[in-house]
A and B are shown apart, each in its own frame.
Chain A
Amino acid sequence: MIGIYLLNLLLALLLAPLLLGIINRVKAWIAGRHGKPLLQTYYDLAKLCQKSEVISPTCGLFFRLAPALQLTVAVAALALLPLGGQASPLRFTGDFLLAAYLLGLGRFALILAALDTGSSFEGMGASREATFSALAEPIFFLAISVLTSLHLDLGQTQDQAFSLSLLFGGQSAGAWLSGKYELLLLPVVFFLLLLVENCRIPVDDPTTHLELTMIHEVMILDHSGPNLALILYAQALKLWFFASLVAGLLVPDLGLASSLLWIAVIFLVACAIGLVEASMARLPLKRVTTFLGGAGAMAALVLIFSQMR
């Protein structure tokens, strides 16, 4: 079993940069352009790894450490998920807290690194990133608590119901397949969280060149070379992490076949991101809170519906 899990983890580590390629292709296709090659992110990573780095003299040690830290926590968080529907060998009761705060730690590192540069742009980006992720966090936990209460009702022990491996391991999909259709709102909630956490349209515009409007991109303006590659790769892994949350709720437990379905769903999520980005403008920064509120309301609704039964 561990072998299959490791295989899934390896696939995640290998395929994650492909997600960005898929998103770009879908966007280009809708706009009637050819678009970048599907494998462009891999080329970019390879190119950046060969480059030397420019580091501003105002930057301290943290600026250099942050990218490596961010990648480490992204891999660690990913390894807590039941990838491909296989329970993680690292699972434990309450591991969702660790996963959430590992990602939080990565973000914290990046924010500190951004402030370290002393640039007013990066400070602004850091402030925005901190605000939006602080607002997204309660919604993430609310959605998780809906799932735990569901599994407690279904007769799981407390030990199991507080682990990502159960919540996203196929049993949740079993629950909506057996008639609890309100649970289908949860993948939507996680998809909206994905858009916020990964700085995609309508929250942030990853393709813009306008520093004043950026959130995530402006924080990494000063990074270059291999360190930028680490950040890019960590970003791709984070995207895979959130897409996995959606897949974990949609794919039922089918043994080995569910691994393939997981990856298919993750690619579909990438297509969905591409469709959203191609058909929507970005929200004014002030309205992002409304967007997050909508996601929170949806999660609360699922909780109410599932408790009413």
Chain B
Amino acid sequence: MTESFSFAWHTPLALADLPVYQGENFTAELAQKLSQGLRLIALTALEPHAAPTPLLAVLAADQEKRLTAFVSKPLERLPSLALRFPQCQLFERELSEDYGLIFSDHPWPKPVRKTPDSGIQRGKRYPFFRTEGRQVHEVAVGPVHAGIIEPGHFRFQCFGENVLHLEIALGYQHRGCEKLLLKAKAHQRLPLLECVAGDTSIGHALAHAQLMERLEDLTCSERAWHLRTLALELERLANHIGDLGAIAGDTGFLPSSAWNGRIRGDVLTMTAMLTGNRFGRGHLAIGGVNNDLDAALCAELSERLEKARRDALGSVKVMLKSESVLERLRGTGALSLDQAKALGLVGVCARACGLARDARLTSPLTPSPNFAPALAQSGDVLARVLVREQEMRASFAMVEDDLCALEEDESREPGAEHGKEMPPHTLALAQVEGFRGEIVHLAVTGEDQHFQVYKVIDPSFRNWPGLALALRDNQISDFPLCNKSFNLSYCGHDL
């Protein structure tokens, strides 16, 4: 049991090599690591049955680009760290919901995915937080919304137009993905993970492919990597462009809203030309990719990319030059750097607070020495817009580089390979920077080529509490705008 046990993000690790702690010591070790500034990547049970169960904690030291992990003896009850380290609170609630673990003194012991109107809560009112007082009123929104979006319930405690507190209750999209993954046959896992969050098909598929390659000790050809990052960055482009347009639409600024809707479609068409599907389904394979580009197609994609780049940059410029748009974005839904750190936010929301968290930097899929994450400082809607704008520019450049490399490369057919068998009782991780933020897939293998644990952590899972906090002391009329600027996935959270 070493004090500073750590490992590189790309190496799978035998479970037996991990330090093991007894009950209280596990929590103490976790608290110590968190107070050293490490970030909680995952906190999960190691057995797929109810408590008592051993726990596994994985933390990241982003500066050193190292991970650390440790396990506990089977536990039933342990002290909660949520109050000291808010980034733990959802993980703890998830564990007590799924495995019946008891976290004593948890300040917010509520379900994560059991919806307020689910039968499980029968006879008991969902414990919504309530503010009492004259002129304090409650506004309930959802789960059915006016727009064509996913279901989620929002409960505002308002004083006039000001929001005192927002509580978000999710779980309407829960499909039991993680359980399905444990039962699924090897070839069923990728299609299943592509549906975890439909707009991040490539991101989740890539994370799974990575994880499997690490377990089976496979290496991808360089060409396959270009085809993968190409698809990943196209996904980021389409979503960032769509989000910027949606934010413009929410401020009532029509030009950029209308243009970006069209440009997003153009980028999705490019994804379809590459993969045969507008959202890139079926593109990824374990050990490679299923689609290749010939020189002619590369040239056409480059041409379309140039057009889309010109249009998208122009559209965003019009939006950011408009004083009335800036007026609406500036100072709305602001989060501080400390709040972002405490909540363990990732992705665009974290970078908008000045937190340089980007899986492309801390756990790069391919060597990319010059990569610098896009940052903004103010943490408000404007900052999230500016981060998206910078990332959009960077992604255009990355897609262009990939297309150039693919056009020059003579080799063909980066098809799937077969690797070794998965070693039993091994922990493997994959971190992929999807367009929302860091996607984490964590797997522990069991016997017979099966998984004992497969944990999917969408960036939305970490960022939803950020949205609730951003709304404090803001106007309720600004909620849709804040919500759009976070653009979190409901199904990615609900799994």
Residue ranges of A at the interface with B (Cβ–Cβ < 8 Å):
27, 30-33, 120-121, 123-124, 201-202, 205, 207-213, 277-287
Q: Do B475 and A281 touch (CB < 8 A)? A: no
Nearest residue, chain B, Cβ from A205? B252
Closest 3 CB pairs of A and B: A282-B252, A31-B258, A281-B251
Give Cα distance in the complex from A31 to B315, angstroms.
11
A35 to chain B, nearest CB (A): 10
B477 partner, pick from A27, A213, A281, beta carbons under 8 A: A213
Give Cα distance in the complex from A211 to B161, angstroms.
14
Q: Do B255 and A120 touch (CB < 8 A)? A: no
Give Cα distance in the complex from A281 to B255, angstroms.
10
B327 partner, pick from A30, A32, A33, A284, beta carbons under 8 A: A284
Taking CB atoms, residues of chain A closer than 8 Å to B250 are 208, 210, 213
Q: Digit string of B154-194 for contact with A (CB within 8 Å is 1, else 0)?
A: 00000001000000000000000000000000000000000
Taking CB atoms, residues of chain A closer than 8 Å to B141 are 211-212
Taking CB atoms, residues of chain A closer than 8 Å to B257 are 31
A213 to chain B, nearest CB (A): 5
Give Cα distance in the complex from A286 to B252, angstroms.
16
Give Cα distance in the complex from A282 to B322, angstroms.
11
Q: Do B137 and A123 touch (CB < 8 A)? A: yes
Count residues of B near A (Cβ-Cβ below 8 Å).
31
Known contacts: A33-B258, A120-B139, A284-B327. The answer to whether A201 contacts B252 by CB under 8 A is yes
Give Cα distance in the complex from A260 to B146, angstroms.
42
Residue ranges of B at the interface with A (Cβ–Cβ < 8 Å):
137-141, 146-147, 161, 248, 250-255, 257-259, 322, 324-325, 327-328, 332, 475-481
Taking CB atoms, residues of chain B closer than 8 Å to A201 are 252
Taking CB atoms, residues of chain B closer than 8 Å to A283 are 324, 327-328
B332 partner, pick from A120, A123, A212, A284, beta carbons under 8 A: A284
A119 to chain B, nearest CB (A): 9
Q: Do A281 and B328 touch (CB < 8 A)? A: yes
Q: Do A124 and B252 touch (CB < 8 A)? A: no
Q: Do B327 and A287 touch (CB < 8 A)? A: yes
A-B contact pairs, 19 of them (CB 8 A): A32-B259, A120-B137, A124-B139, A208-B250, A210-B480, A212-B476, A213-B477, A213-B480, A278-B254, A278-B255, A279-B255, A280-B252, A280-B322, A281-B253, A281-B327, A284-B475, A286-B161, A286-B475, A287-B327
Nearest residue, chain A, Cβ from B140? A120
Taking CB atoms, residues of chain B closer than 8 Å to A277 are 252, 254
A67 to chain B, nearest CB (A): 21
Nearest residue, chain A, Cβ from B480? A210
Max chain A C-beta neighbours (<10 A), residue from B248, B250, B257, B325: B250
Nearest residue, chain A, Cβ from B476? A212
Say whether chain B's binding surface is mostly helix, strand, loop, or mixed. Answer: helix
Taking CB atoms, residues of chain B closer than 8 Å to A212 are 139, 141, 476-477, 479-480
Give Cα distance in the complex from A120 to B163, angstroms.
14
Give Cα distance in the complex from A278 to B322, angstroms.
12
A20 to chain B, nearest CB (A): 16
Known: A120-B138, A279-B255, A282-B324. 20 other contacts (CB 8 A): A27-B254, A31-B255, A31-B257, A33-B258, A121-B139, A124-B161, A124-B476, A209-B147, A210-B250, A210-B480, A211-B141, A212-B141, A213-B480, A213-B481, A281-B251, A281-B322, A281-B325, A281-B327, A283-B324, A285-B475
Taking CB atoms, residues of chain A closer than 8 Å to B138 are 120
Taking CB atoms, residues of chain A closer than 8 Å to B477 are 212-213, 284-285
A56 to chain B, nearest CB (A): 16
Nearest residue, chain A, Cβ from B251? A281
Q: Do B478 and A284 touch (CB < 8 A)? A: yes
Nearest residue, chain A, Cβ from B479? A212
Give Cα distance in the complex from A287 to B146, angstroms.
25
B315 to chain A, nearest CB (A): 11
Taking CB atoms, residues of chain A closer than 8 Å to B479 are 212-213
Known contacts: A27-B254, A211-B141, A212-B141. The answer to whether A202 contacts B324 by CB under 8 A is yes
A196 to chain B, nearest CB (A): 15
Taking CB atoms, residues of chain A closer than 8 Å to B475 are 284-286
Taking CB atoms, residues of chain A closer than 8 Å to B146 are 209-211
Taking CB atoms, residues of chain A closer than 8 Å to B255 are 30-31, 278-279
Taking CB atoms, residues of chain B closer than 8 Å to A30 are 254-255
Taking CB atoms, residues of chain A closer than 8 Å to B478 are 213, 284
Taking CB atoms, residues of chain B closer than 8 Å to A285 are 161, 475, 477
Nearest residue, chain B, Cβ from A213? B477
Nearest residue, chain A, Cβ from B332? A284
Taking CB atoms, residues of chain A closer than 8 Å to B254 are 27, 30-31, 277-278
Give Cα distance in the complex from A195 to B322, angstroms.
19
Taking CB atoms, residues of chain B closer than 8 Å to A202 are 252, 324
Nearest residue, chain B, Cβ from A214? B477
B266 to chain A, nearest CB (A): 14
Q: Do A282 and B476 touch (CB < 8 A)? A: no
A201 to chain B, nearest CB (A): 5
B167 to chain A, nearest CB (A): 15
Nearest residue, chain B, Cβ from A277? B254
Known contacts: A32-B258, A120-B137, A201-B252. The answer to whether A281 contacts B480 by CB under 8 A is no
Nearest residue, chain A, Cβ from B253? A281
Taking CB atoms, residues of chain B closer than 8 Å to A284 are 327-328, 332, 475, 477-478
Known contacts: A32-B259, A210-B146, A213-B480. The answer to whether A281 contacts B140 by CB under 8 A is no
B139 to chain A, nearest CB (A): 4
Taking CB atoms, residues of chain B closer than 8 Å to A205 are 252
Taking CB atoms, residues of chain A closer than 8 Å to B252 are 201-202, 205, 207-208, 277, 280-282
Nearest residue, chain A, Cβ from B329? A281
Taking CB atoms, residues of chain B closer than 8 Å to A278 are 254-255
A129 to chain B, nearest CB (A): 13
Give Cα distance in the complex from A285 to B476, angstroms.
10
Taking CB atoms, residues of chain B closer than 8 Å to A281 are 248, 251-253, 322, 324-325, 327-328
Taking CB atoms, residues of chain B closer than 8 Å to A208 are 250, 252
Q: Do B258 and A282 touch (CB < 8 A)? A: no
Nearest residue, chain A, Cβ from B250? A210
